Structure 1
Amino acid sequence: MSTRFDAIVIGSGQAGPPLAGRLTAAGMSVALVERHRFGGTCVNTGCIPTKTLVASARVARMARRAAEYGVVLDGPVRVDMARVKARKDAVSGRSRTNVERWLRGMTGCTVFQGHARFESADTIRVGDDRLTAGRIFINVGGRAAVPDLPGVDRIRPLTSGTILDLDTLPRHLVVVGGSYIGLEFAQMYRRFGSEVTVVERGPRLIPREDPDVSDGIRDILEREGVSIRLSAECIRFAPQGDGVAVAVDCTAGAPEVAGSHVLLAVGRRPNTDDLALDRAGVVTDARGYITVDDQLRTSVPGIWALGDCNGRGAFTHTAYNDFEIVAANILDGDPRRVTDRIPAYALYVDPPLGRVGLTNEEVRRSGRRALTGMRPMTRVGRAVEKGEEQGFMKITVDADTQEILGAAILGPGGDEAIHAVLATMQAKAPYPTLQRSVHIHPTVSELIPTLLGELRPLT
């Protein structure tokens, strides 16, 4: 059967459903295709389930620290992983159901469940259905990468998706990859009660961050008992009893780690390899990401790519912003662009890291004359009151233009407090505008104006 629509949306991740909503509200007929679970990565294997687990892990951590706050608990703290998983599944499941209900009840939207493959630049096939449209929007997301490391075919490694199926506690979880995803799982499973070792090829954790941020996060994790193995140049695997031997060949420490489970957290890849994009003429790069311009148009007129599959962002908020950019250009006559957005994200270790704009290393490489301010959380009243004094906050500005260039807040509420800086940067306001604002006391945010009053040359 062949059916013509005004638009086809492939994928129900963060960009697809709201775009379908805007297009149908504009009077268009829309086909939305989803081959697996509604809601995409965020709802099913990303933000919502992982942050639900982070919340459970934080409760376990605080329960163990109860005596520090004068709270007496009888008996040792015990984590029931089956109940932790059930809570995570319930939260994620409600979100997934809500997305599907929204789409199926959307006037003008027809939902197709199955695998979409291109037949031409305006036609896709989903099972026995042949769908055509003058506009096609690809929102297929990505998945965890499984690198071809020596011995990986001899074990059954976990990924950021499959680890969510565990309802028992690993005895010793070895996390391969010392970046954002791996560190979140490392801390949460240590708090649940597992022994945890992080294995990272590089000389420090999260190498895209400044060294002081990497060191601060390492300190947080090691204080909680997470083992960190850096400079692991020769990672390989072998079965060992009922577990796994992970050879790390680090410059220091034992050359092998014996674990019960291995989590591979070494990046992601786009879900573009089985869409038959070549039949439509859609160009991808060497890693499989769909090549797009500043308004998310692909190499083929009438086809756009949004979200993780375009390589222009790897977050739920950037995927949603992709929807906003496409809708603004198509429906509102508003020429919004990807390069207009300011990079911002968070790392959800606890306490979290909030980041916006350039790192200090990037500022140095730019050759700008810059000023920077830094304050440890030991000098932030809100952090002291909460008994969460690890971390720091820093901000960097252009000494000549007074433009805010970037900031990092590693500490309680860092993921929220960073938005004061982000909003000021988006408004293109000079830093004295933020410096002169009166923030609520006691908060972490109230120290941002103080930082701006203590700026020193960035060396």
Structure 2
Amino acid sequence: MRAFDAIIVGAGQAGPSLAGRLSDAGKTVAIIERKHVGGTCVNTGCKPTKTLVASAYAARLAQRASDYGVQLGGPVTIDMPAVMRRAYQVTLDSRHGNERWLGSMAGCTLIRGHARFTDRTTLRVGEDFLTAPQIFLNVGGRAAIPDFPGLADIPYLTNSDMVRLDRVPGHLVIIGGSYIGLEFAQMFRRFGAEVTVIEKGPRLVGREDEKTSTAIREILEAEGVCVVTGADDIRFRKEGRVVVVHPGDGKADVTGTDVLLAVGRRPNTDDLGLETAGVEVDARGYIRVDDQLATTAEGIWALGDCNGKGAFTHTAYNDFEIVAANLIDGEARRVSDRIPGYALYIDPPLGRVGMSEAEARKTGRPILVSHIPMSKVGRAVEKGETQGFMTLVADAETRQILGAAILGTGGDEAIHGVLDMMNAGATVDQLRWAVPIHPTVSEFWPTVVTGLGQG
């Protein structure tokens, strides 16, 4: 039995950072990782996928070179193995950086293997037993595999497979029209694949406003991505070297060379022995936590994707910040104080913060809304990238900013002007009188404010 002050299970976004804070505070820490340090973000998520998005953007820009008066002298070709080598190197550099960081921490021990609880304060890793009064779960999630008829009879890919795929599929059929699926749809279309997206719901990215969903569909279809929605009876069958996907009654079958499943995520909580430790999970397997990320078992916290409080790298990191602030710095930070923000990394990207217009309307409060096309934004015109819009939503009585979105060039960066104002509790009037830099996308926010009208 080896005793530590704290044990962290999982070396994803929250784990190493927490290990660093605990180590700096003089604690002995064991951090257990069963596969790759860095978690989903570094190994199968943000790092490789956004590197691939960058390659796809470069391909698209090259294809449009003549629009800018640039002549390439020949057709654009894709070296897919080189594309994947670049993405893999970015992943390796980040993973190894995290490993070196953990190795530099005084009092921190990295242990490789799968951890299972034997009681509330003890974990078994192989033949090793570890104990600590404080245990932090940062075990992440993985692709959900649905029970579609015929799925067990065909080969299929998940997001983890896609970031290692060093060939361009002839026809990639993507099941799921949300964030992960759409990013792969556009990038592989730009790499030269025929792509069809099949979505069970009535529209793409169902959590977004309908006009946002419609605009995203138009962007993808303009590049040749085929979209099928309302697929209420998805079935598969193998026919020789191809797969036939049946979306539902009244919809034509789709024949593809490759199938990507992108229908959601599930937490890695099913093989930890949580019940032995008294850690409760909900019906979907997410660990139940309170507003300070404590589980139902004393001395155990859950951070990152496994707690269902956020599905992003930045929310996992904020979980670390909340736990460290509360346990080490004597503060009282809460998850409910977090203002939600995220991005969809198609091109142009969608940056979102706070409530959507539809969510704001559901509250019943009087609201103000401004919606301006990117074709009015000088920076977008100059770049020749005018697809999309900027939207701002505010409370008509208090003038507080409720939410904002940019579906447009630089939207993932420019949204932070509003995100920061919301975190500071600012009103739309304070945003109105900011003096942003010209020429940028962000400079248009004060103009968006002047367009606010009764919603």
Superposition TM-score tier, normalisation by shorter sequence: over 0.9
Aligned residue among 381, 385, 401 for 1:384? 381
**Partners in 1 of 2:393 and 2:23 — Cα distance?**
44
Q: Which residue of 2 aligns with 1:348?
A: 345
> SS of the counterpart of 1:173?
strand
Partner of 1:132: 131
Where 1:346 maps in the other structure, the secondary structure is strand
Q: What amino acid maps onto 1:51 in structure 2?
A: K
Structure 2 SS opposite 1:189: helix
Aligned pairs for 1:414-425 within 5 A: 414-425=411-422
Structure 1 residue ranges (4+ consecutive) displaced by more than 6 angstroms after TM superposition? none
Find the partner of 1:269 among 266, 269, 289.
266
Q: 2:392 aligns with which of 382, 387, 395?
A: 395
Aligned to 2:314: 317
Secondary structure of 1:13's counterpart equals: coil
Shift of the alpha carbon at 1:429?
Answer: 1.2
Q: Residue 217 of structure 2 aligns with which residue? A: 218
Once residues 371 and 356 of structure 2 are traced to their aligned partners in structure 1, the CA distance between those partners, rounded to angstroms, is 13
Structure 2: give runs of 5+ residues left out of the alignment: none
Residue 362 of structure 1 is matched in structure 2 by 359
Aligned equivalents of 2:34, 2:94: Cα separation in 1:
17
Within 2, Cα distance between the matches of 1:333 and 1:58?
45
Q: What's the offset of the Cα at 1:240?
A: 1.7
CA contact 1:230–1:250 (8 Å) conserved in 2: no
Q: Any residues of structure 2 matched to 1:448-459 within 5 Å, and which? A: 448-458=445-455
Alignment of 1:9-408 (within 5 A): 9-249=8-248, 251=250, 254-408=251-405
* Residue type at the aligned position of 1:255: A
CA contact (8 A) 1:231 1:250 kept: no
Matched residues, percent identical? 62
User: What is the TM-score normalised by the length of structure 1?
Assistant: 0.98
**Structure 1: runs of 5+ lacking an equivalent:** none
How many angstroms apart in 2 are the aligned matches of 1:204 and 1:127? 46
Counterpart amino acid of residue 121 in structure 2: D
Shift in CA distance, 359/48, structure 1 to aligned 2, threshold 3 Å: same
C-alpha distance in structure 2 between counterparts of 1:241 and 1:450, whole Å: 57
Shift in Å, 1:385? 0.6
Show CA shifts across 1:212-249 (max 9, x none).
11011111100000000011111111112211100012
Structure 1: distance between partners of 2:431 and 2:382: 25
- The answer to whether the 8 A contact 1:356-1:408 is kept is yes
- Provide the rounded CA distance (Å) in 2 between the counterparts of 1:155 and 1:373: 47
Task: Give a deviation string over 1:73-131, Cα, whole Å, max 9, x none.
Answer: 01110001100010000000100011111112211101110000000000001111100
Distance 1:209 1:41 in 2: 24
Within 5 Å, which residues of 2 pair with 1:435-450?
A: 435-450=432-447
- When residues 406 and 225 of structure 1 are mapped into structure 2, their CA distance, relative to the original with a 3 A threshold, is same
Q: Quick one: distance in 2 between partners of 1:163 and 1:46? A: 10
Q: In the alignment, residue 276 of structure 1 is paired with which amino acid? A: G
Matches of 2:442 and 2:25 in 1, distance apart?
A: 41
Residues 24-55 of structure 1: CA deviation (Å, up to 9, x unaligned): 10010000100000100000000000000000
Q: What is the CA–CA distance in structure 1 between the aligned matches of 2:412 and 2:130, rounded to whole Å?
A: 42
In structure 2, distance between residues paired with 1:94 and 1:190: 27
RMSD: 0.7
TM-score (norm 2): 0.99
2: distance between equivalents of 1:247 and 1:422?
42
**What is the letter of the counterpart of residue 134 of structure 2?**
R
The residue matched to 1:374 in structure 2 has which SS? strand
